[in-house]
Every structure is written in structure tokens, then in C-alpha cells.
Amino acid sequence: QSVLTQPPSVSAAPGQKVTISCSGSSSNIGNNYVSWYQQVPGTAPKLLIYENDKRPSGIPDRFSGSKSGTSATLGITGLQTGDEADYYCGTWDSSLNINWVFGGGTKLTVL
Amino acid sequence: QVQLQESGPGLVKPSETLSLTCTVSRGSISNYYWTWLRQPPGKGLEWIGYISNSGGTKYKPSLKSRVTLSVDTSKNQFSLKLSSVTAADTAVYYCARGVYDLAPPDYWSQGILVTVSS
């Protein structure tokens, strides 16, 4: 069981918008920045969003992040077939000793 | 941009120690935090821990008793040792960089599959 909860899968048609949720608690999301990663099967994860809503250089503005309380959301607009991947949220957790935790991942299917 | 490349055996016997090294190129190992993560086949990501260029460490609590991280700034390398491995430690292992201690890993290696089997 992951500390952060994500839906196992989401799907949408090309050109549409999709959101992926990430639910946690006050010991993690509630008091720390959230990041999001994209992992195309067979490749290493790529950082999409950091500090809740910031995009690294080179990440298109179709990708957005937000946080409210103990939950965070990744939004992807103008879906492309190349967006089909697994998406993971991550943040620091301080419930025992501080350590980085991930959500279980969400498989995005672009229909 | 910075590049990271792991090296080490792809097969380790149960109860032995898994050892991996990550070489940093196109950038300095100084002033950053260097992280190890893993992903069992077909499963999600797991953070193992990080080490700073000055040797400060932080580990996942459940792995702390078996993990040792080290850094060699002269070689631009950092290393992972995981002792007493079992089949549950079979995973793709990644090394990655963080720009400060609480930063998310930004640049990742391509990953190396390590199988624990006799």
C-alpha cells in the first residue's frame, strides 16, 4: 500500500483534458511540496511538476499541477498519444522519519 | 545537461550484498544531493535514500538497516550497497540528482535491472 493514493487508471480521447489526483495526509502533502513524474514504459521517470505547480524547463504548459490541503492534482490538456504513460506523485513524508514517498501510479490511456 | 550512469552486477545471490555505482558526467557531483530509487518489475517507484556531496545521508526507514550510501567526489561517483538481499529486492535501480536536500530528483539514470536469484 502506497502512502499516497492515486487512481490506478484514467483515460481520455486525444485533444481532451484529463486530471489525476493524489491524496495524502498532513504528514506528507499537507505540509510539503508535491512533484509529479511521467514514466513511459521501459524508460526512466521524467520530472513534470515540482513545488506543486512549477514546470522544469522543456515541459510544455499542457501539464499543470495544483495542491489543496492534503491532495494534489495533475492536469494534462490537449492530450496526445505520446502522453500515454504512468504518472506518479511524490512528496516528503515526516510521519516517522522523513523520507520521500510516491503514489502507486496512474496509467493514462489516450483512446 | 548532467548525465548519470549506473554500473554493477545484474545478478546477485540471496543473502549477499548488492553493490551499484553511479557515475555523474557533464556536471559536478558537488553541491547536489544524490539519490537511489528502485522499481520492482511491474510495480511502482520506491525511494531508497540520498547522500550529499559532503556525505550527509537520509534513508527510507524500512531499508535503513541494510543500506549504505557513499560518495567519491574525486571520481564524480556515488554508490549504493544493500545487504542481505532477497527476491523482494529484485528491481530496476535508478540513481538521480536533487538540487537541494528536499528537492525532488530531477535528472535520472536509465536504470539497471538487478535480479536476486541463486
8-state DSSP, B105: P
The answer to whether the CB atoms of A33 and B108 lie below 8 A apart is: no
**Is residue A89 scored above 80 in pLDDT?**
yes
- The predicted model gives A63-90 an average pLDDT of 97
Please give the residue of chain A at the shortest CA–CA distance from B38.
Answer: A44
- The predicted model gives A82-99 an average pLDDT of 92
Which among A27, A18, A16, A59 has a CA at the least distance from the CA of A4?
A27
Dihedral angle sign, alpha carbons of residues B21, B25, B30, B33: negative
pLDDT at A83: 97
A65-79, B12-26, B50-64: range with lowest mean pLDDT = B50-64
All three cell numbers of A69, joined, read 490541503
What's the residue count for chain A?
111
pLDDT at A98: 81
Distance from first CA to last CA of chain B, Å, rounded?
A: 39
- The predicted model gives B92-98 an average pLDDT of 96
Give the H/E segment covering residue B45: none
CA angle B60–A73–B62, rounded 5-degree value: 10
**Is residue A96 scored above 80 in pLDDT?**
no
Identify the burial level of B50 via C-beta atoms within 10 angstroms of its C-beta, where 0-12 means exposed, 13-18 middle and 19 or more buried. Answer: buried
What is the rounded CA–CA span in Å between residue A109 and residue B13?
38
Within 25-84 of A, beta carbons closer than 8 Å to B belong to 32-33, 35, 37, 39, 43-47, 50, 56
pLDDT at A88: 98
Q: What is the mean pLDDT of chain A?
A: 96
Tens of pLDDT, residues A13-60: 999 999 999 999 999 999 999 999 999 999 999 999 999 999 999 999
pLDDT at A2: 87
Quick one: pLDDT band at residue B102, thresholds 50, 70, 90? confident
Q: What is the mean pLDDT of chain B?
A: 94
Q: Are B45 and A105 in contact (CB under 8 A)?
A: yes
- B44 interfaces chain A, CB cutoff of 8 Å: yes
pLDDT at B99: 86
**Strand-pair partners of A98:** none
Give the H/E segment covering residue A76: strand A71-76
Task: Give Cβ neighbours of residue B70 (< 8 Å, ≥ 6 apart).
Answer: B51, B55, B78, B79, B81
Tens of pLDDT, residues B18-34: 999 999 999 888 889 99
